[in-house]
Structure 1
Amino acid sequence: MLHPDYPLATERLLLRPATAADIDDMHAYKSRPDVCRYLPYDPMSRAEVAERISGVWSRTELTEAGQALNLCVEEAASGRLLGDVVLFWRDAENRTGEIGYVFAPEAAGRGYATEAAGALLALGFEGLALHRVTARLDARNDASCRVLERIGMRREALHLQDMWFKNEWSDTAIYAMLEYEWRESVEAGVRR
């Protein structure tokens, strides 16, 4: 089980549960076709964002496998909402999880996604004691692939045209990291 103390702080970011006050800022990027291009959903209406914030995105802890923890990513210095991240607890027996993230275009190129994704790895490995954390994404999403590589995840697989995605065949890239790799990076001072 995972019961984080919020907000989760990194060098420049705060990760915290979404609130109704986040609806407009979240809708501003989740409604954009360019942001949703590689995501498993289409651009969202304000009502859809509000519904998710009051529903599936309202979880503040993980009590059993199969659940997901969605968190807002806020710039600590300004309080500005930059994006949101998710940690899925996939399997308790095999201790597996998965991470994902989406950021507003204005936040791109500043290392925020890398910093937040690294915090998700810490939450998975340290908070849930996971053995393995993966990330699945459309292989054409080069920027997201670079984020995963910067946090030390390795590309394990490329599934060619394995999914009919938004009216075209898409390749899925699979990235992963094991617990011992995480621990080694912490001991080497790569992670805090």
Structure 2
Amino acid sequence: MIATSRLVLRRFRPSDGPALTTYRGDPEVARYQGWNPATTAADLAAGDPDTPGWFQYAIERVSDHILIGDLGVHTHDNLMQAEIGFTLSRAAQGQGYATEAVRAVLNHLFEVRGRHKVSAECDARNTASSRLLERVGFRREGLRREHTWHNNEWTDDVLFGLLAREWIT
């Protein structure tokens, strides 16, 4: 559905199940995530990227056709705003894949879908995700202190936003 030189972002397939279970089941990958690790590829294949609600892109590496992560887009009811979230397998981290996938989706949301604003939030301790969001142009918009109950503790959430007029391809 969305392609870069190294990645294809597409709908999930049943054959993605084992890879999805492996990387989402990794405690280091799931550490700051709020999703259910028992989510299946069939669960993530649901949704329509053209309608309000969540749509999850599978991130596939072109060189070997391996599923290396996923990127979710939540389109708001007004069809002018979206929120994103991303997860990458530990083996694929630190190689620029997440940055490449986020940039490709942002370009699609702003240039093709005409979104006005894209938001993101992450656990305040997840400095790698915060740096990625800032690197692609997001601005830090706020901090919600002890906002999320996750893994039996209260965590702070950092809020980010990017307006269409600020997007630089």
User: Is the structural similarity TM-score above 0.5?
Assistant: yes
Runs of 4 or more above 3 Å deviation:
none
Larger proportion of strand: 2
Matched, 1:136 2:91: no
Q: Deviations over 1:20-66 (max 9, x none)?
A: 1110111111112221111113432xxx42xxx22453335322x2x
Higher RCO, 1 vs 2 (CA within 8 Å, ≥6 residues apart) = 2
Q: Which runs of 5+ in 1 are unaligned?
A: 1-5, 186-190
Q: Deviations over 1:133-188 (max 9, x none)?
A: 00011110011111111111111111111222221111000011001011xx1xxx
Kindly state the Cα deviation for residue 91 of structure 1 after the two structures are TM-superposed. Answer: 3.4
Match among 7, 11, 19 for residue 17 of structure 1? 11
Kindly state the Cα deviation for residue 119 of structure 1 after the two structures are TM-superposed. Answer: 1.3
Between Structure 1 and Structure 2, whose CA radius of gyration is higher? Answer: 1
TM-score (norm 1): 0.82
Aligned length in residues: 169
Kindly state the Cα deviation for residue 87 of structure 1 after the two structures are TM-superposed. Answer: 0.9
Report the RMSD for the aligned CA atoms in angstroms. Answer: 1.5
TM-score (norm 2): 0.93
Q: Specify the alignment match of 1:98 in structure 2.
A: 83
Kindly state the Cα deviation for residue 128 of structure 1 after the two structures are TM-superposed. Answer: 2.2
Q: Specify the alignment match of 1:3 in structure 2.
A: none
Q: Specify the alignment match of 1:69 in structure 2.
A: 55
Match among 105, 108, 129 for residue 123 of structure 1? 108
Kindly state the Cα deviation for residue 132 of structure 1 after the two structures are TM-superposed. Answer: 0.7
Q: Which runs of 5+ in 2 are unaligned?
A: none
